[in-house]
Amino acid sequence: MREEMYDLHILGWHSFQQLCLTITREIFGQTVESFLDSSDAGKDGAFAGIWKPSRREALRGRFVIQCKFTSKRDKTLSRADLAEDVEKARRLVQNGRCDCYILITNAGLSGSAAEEMKTLFKDAGVKQFRAFGSTWICQQITENKRLRMLVPRIYGLGDLTQILDEQAYTQAKALLASLREDLSKVVLTNAYRKAAEALDQHGFVLLIGEPAAGKTTIASMLSMGALDQWGASTLKLDTAEKVVERWNPDEPSQFFWIDDAFGVTQYESFLVHGWNHALPMIKTMLRKRAKIVMTSRDYIYKRSRNDLKEGAFPLLRESQVVIDVHDLASEEKQQILYNHIKLGKQDKDFRAAIKPHLPAIASHSRFVPETARRLADPLFTAGLKLNRYDLNDFVEKQELFLQEVLRGLDEHSKAALALIYMRNDALESPIELGESEREAIERLGSSLGGCITALESLNGSLVQYIHTDEVAMWRFKHPTVGDAYAGLLLQSPELLGIYVHGSPIDKLLGQVTCGDVGLERAVVLPKGLFPLVLKRLNEVSSSTLYKSPALARWYGQGRIDGFLASRCSKDFLLQYIQQRPDVLDRVSDPGLFLYAVSEVDLAIRLHELGLLPENHRQRFVTTVIAYAIGGEDLHAIESLRIQSVFTSAELSAFRERVRDELLPNLGDVRRTWQSNRNSDQSPDECIDPLLESFSALKEEFADDPAVTSIIDNEIQLGRAWIAEQTEDDPKEERPARSFGDVESPDNPPVPAQTRGIFDDVDE
């Protein structure tokens, strides 16, 4: 029976060497000088001094570390395997460079074999010899949580039941359902180190980057580390409302992971409004020691910043917690490519043929981790010629190559992908089709049975079957598959019509635009499909996501407003107003919390396009001014977008009313907000939005020292009230939750290599 718990044989020589050097620092407690080239003079690492492997012994002198890697699963190290190493050791001893020799190998090592080796090296002049085999390495990994955090690939190489308790294992199993294969290939990048540091210091990190840059992989590594190190309750959710709902203030170690926080492939304004509502609560959660990881595509995050209320959550402005994962070092790219090719589905002949080209691929400016994954899967490389020109084209034009792969699929596979796309990348299993979806796949030449068979055959390449939150579902293997499918929709008017007919309306609103409004990667519907979309908008209020019909109508109206405000051209809005003229009355009288209510954005959009009649515009202006002067909602004072609806005369009059009517009553406004604090609100959650508006008010009157002095005083009184109320609240002792340093400060720079990372990729 094999004792080895981790599949160390699939690491590759370079990663195994890194693991060994990490072990020497973490387990042996030694700062090790590393030698990573082929002319290492017979040593992979070295240090000098005193080492105490146990209380009863101390070794002194110049130490040499040799890492002996094998790619064979059940290899047992023998005396014959060390002949060359013994001769190198003899030369090192003669040159006065080796007193103690440490051999670390992922091969099996019996007690008798270790004694034979000890004799060999002592005969060569080595004073002390120690050998550590696969069983010892696996034992260190099992017993040392920090070691696993430093080498997160380990989570994808072994049996988690042996290192995690039952509750943590259950969570990890669900978490890794779609990520286990990727974690076995993961590389510890600088972005990961910075993300772990941000979590330590702030409890929050936002990972941004272009599609396929590795955001989800880093988030999964952090999640696994939280499960392993703290036994944290890890929750992968998709909206702000779900985060707030699932937060337990009595559980100090909850870890929240929100992938694609502001939209999967396109910007979703309703998601940002949800975060605006939740940001005060998020601050409370972080203060109670929860940890939060969010990801977003770079172009979506850039768009979201126009609407995010960053002032309510200053961390969103901090470079320490907003981390761009795209900047990969040369060695990181090479290791990512090596891991995928070595552990992918390609046969040995393919790996040998592509091997000479791998350095150039890794150094390409358009290389991202997803490039490596596709090169490692025969589905994506069928017909690809392995020469410099065609491989460069593959990396340069990978989106077009992916579309060609999709075009070459059979009808059932295309229909299966259409179902996932129509469900916005979340096709629940077992699959139950609505009538319009059934009609759509039939028009594509398929059936439910054909789609199920196709999904099973595509699993692991274009799609994946996962469990999340106790729900099983089919998803795209990577969001870029959805991007490519959207590109095919645009090229086929017939396919586009099927898609609009068959997609659930909740999903449709997050994927299309009616006319071209400049939204990146959206599916642009032509004018001929506008009547169909108008008809389908009537279905929004029938959403089953909420318990009561009233709540469904409220949610539905917010989704429609967001769709109209951000995804519709003037032509479509004209048609909508003709059908629903009541929308003008509704948007001209928005409710409180102006920074989050959907009517405000729609009113501004209609005004920009000249579609908000003058009487409705005046009513909107009157409403938001009344909120500000009365102290109920001061957002109009700080929002340039709201002020864009004002005429210059109205804006000037508004400023004077603020000076004459609001400023003298700021104290009353503050006290009213304080007295309205709910029992379940923290003091800062209650009053921070007001203090932020006071700060904006201060900027507005920065040229008037008397006014700014009044505002400063009220801000100080508000902060003093927060401090006083916080002192009155019962203090909670929370254990510190820290990943710790994920990069040793004593780790010296790695010297230039003459032995290539890809040397054994075809073995």
Query: What are the φ/ψ torsions at residue 142 (nearest 5 degrees)?
Result: -65, -40
Q: What is the DSSP string of 470-512?
A: TEEEEEESSHHHHHHHHHHHHT-HHHHHHHHHHS-HHHHTTTE
> Highest-confidence range of 56-65, 150-159, 548-557, by mean pLDDT?
56-65
558: Cβ–Cβ under 8 A, 6 or more apart, which residues?
Answer: 270, 273, 598
- How many Cβ atoms are within 10 Å of 551's Cβ, its own excluded? 12
Which range has the worst mean pLDDT, 331-340, 578-587, 678-687, 746-755?
Answer: 746-755
Residue 497, pLDDT above cutoff 90: no
Q: Which of these, 24, 295, 268, lies nearest to 137 by C-alpha position?
A: 24
Percent share of the chain, pLDDT over 90: 19
Q: What is the pLDDT of residue 52?
A: 66
How many Cβ atoms from other residues are within 10 Å of residue 164's Cβ?
A: 19
Mean of all residue pLDDT scores within the chain = 81
344 and 376 Cβ atoms separated by less than 8 Å: yes
Give residue 754's pLDDT band: very low, low, confident or very high (50, 70, 90).
low
Mean pLDDT of 495-510: 80
| Residues 25 and 77: beta-carbon distance below 8 Å | no
Tokens at 360, concatenated: 């150039």
| Token duo for residue 653 | 């009059």
Strands 322-324 and 204-209 turn out to be parallel
- Dist. CA 534–CA 538, nearest whole Å: 7
Instruction: Determine phi and psi for 678, rounding to 5 degrees.
Output: -75, 155
Strand partners, 158: 6
Residue 737 pLDDT > 90, yes or no?
A: no
State pLDDT tens for residues 3-52. 447 788 888 887 888 788 888 777 776 655 554 444 444 455 556 666 66
623, HSE (Cβ side, Cα atoms, 13 Å) = 21
Domain ranges of the chain: 8-143, 146-324, 330-396, 654-728
Name the more confident of 129 and 162: 129
Above 80 in pLDDT, residue 58?
Answer: no
Cβ contacts of residue 554 below 8 Å, gap of 6+? none
Q: Which of 324, 105, 359 is nearest to 194 (CA)?
A: 324
pLDDT tens digits along 554-591? 667 888 998 999 999 999 999 999 999 999 999 999 98
With a cut of 80, say whether residue 698 has pLDDT above it: yes
In this prediction, residue 181 carries a pLDDT of 62
Res. 748: pLDDT tops 50: no
Confidence of residue 100 (pLDDT cuts 50, 70, 90): confident
CB 65 within 8 A of CB 99: no
The arrangement of secondary structure in 146-324, i.e. its CATH architecture, is 3-Layer(aba) Sandwich (3.40)
C-alpha 171/C-alpha 537 separation (Å) is 38
Q: Is the peptide bond before 430 cis (omega within 30 degrees of 0)?
A: yes
pLDDT value, residue 536: 87
- Of 533, 454, 527, the residue nearest 499 (C-alpha): 533
d(CA 132, CA 114): 9
3-state secondary structure of 703: coil
Long-range Cβ contacts of 406-410 (<8 Å, 24+ apart)? 406/462, 406/481, 406/484, 406/485, 406/488, 407/488, 410/454
pLDDT band for position 130 (cuts 50, 70, 90): confident
Beta-bridge partners for 502: none
Judged against a pLDDT cut of 60, whether residue 676 lies above it is answered with yes
pLDDT 10s digits, 350-361: 999 999 999 999
The predicted-structure confidence for 486-496, as pLDDT tens digits, reads as follows 778 777 777 88
Mean pLDDT of 171-198: 71
**DSSP assigned state of 568:** B
Q: Does 307 have pLDDT greater than 60?
A: yes
Q: Do domains 8-143 and 146-324 have the same CATH topology?
A: no
Name the band, by pLDDT with cuts 50, 70 and 90, for residue 153: low
Q: 402: Cβ–Cβ under 8 A, 6 or more apart, which residues?
A: 374, 380, 480, 481, 484
**Residue 230 CA, distance from chain mean position:** 20
CA distance 316 to 205: 9
pLDDT tens digit sequence for 620-651 = 999 999 999 998 888 898 888 999 999 999 99
pLDDT at 36: 40
Which token pair is 700?
Answer: 């507005």
Q: Which residue has the tokens 């393919």?
A: 350
Q: What tens digit of pLDDT does each residue of 592-609 get?
A: 888 878 899 999 999 999
Helix/strand/coil (H, E, C) string of 202-255? HCEEEEEECCCCCHHHHHHHHHHHHHHHHCCEEEEECCHHHHHHHCCCCCCCEE
pTM over 0.85: no
Do residues 10 and 184 touch, judged by C-beta distance below 8 A? yes
Secondary structure element (H or E) that encloses residue 48, with its range: strand 45-54
pLDDT tens, position by position, 198-227: 888 888 899 988 877 788 888 888 887 777
Q: What is residue 681's predicted lDDT score, i.e. its pLDDT?
A: 73
Q: What is the pLDDT of residue 498?
A: 80
| Best-predicted range by mean pLDDT (35-39, 152-156, 366-370, 563-567) | 563-567
- Cα(714)–Cα(724) distance, integer angstroms: 15
Cβ neighbors of 20 (< 8 A, separation 6 or more) are: 44, 45, 65, 67, 104
pLDDT score of 312: 64
Could you say which architecture CATH assigns to the domain 8-143?
Answer: 3-Layer(aba) Sandwich (3.40)
Partners of 254 in beta bridges:
233
What pLDDT does residue 40 have?
Answer: 45
pLDDT attached to residue 752: 42
What's the pLDDT tens digit per position in 378-418? 988 988 899 999 999 888 888 888 888 888 888 999 999 98
Contact 217, 178 (CB under 8 A): no
Residues 6 or more apart in contact with residue 161 via CB below 8 angstroms: 169
pLDDT at position 241: 81
Instruction: Report, as an integer, the average pLDDT of 656-662.
Output: 90
- According to DSSP, the β-strands at 100-105 and 57-68 are parallel
Looking at the chain, the whole-number percentage of residues with pLDDT higher than 70 is 83
Q: State the pLDDT at residue 454.
A: 92
Q: Is 425 left (phi over 0), alpha (psi -120 to 50) or beta?
A: left
**Whether the predicted pLDDT of 186 surpasses 80:** no
Instruction: Report strand pairing: 100-105 vs 254-258.
Output: unpaired
> Average pLDDT for residues 366-371, to the nearest whole number?
86
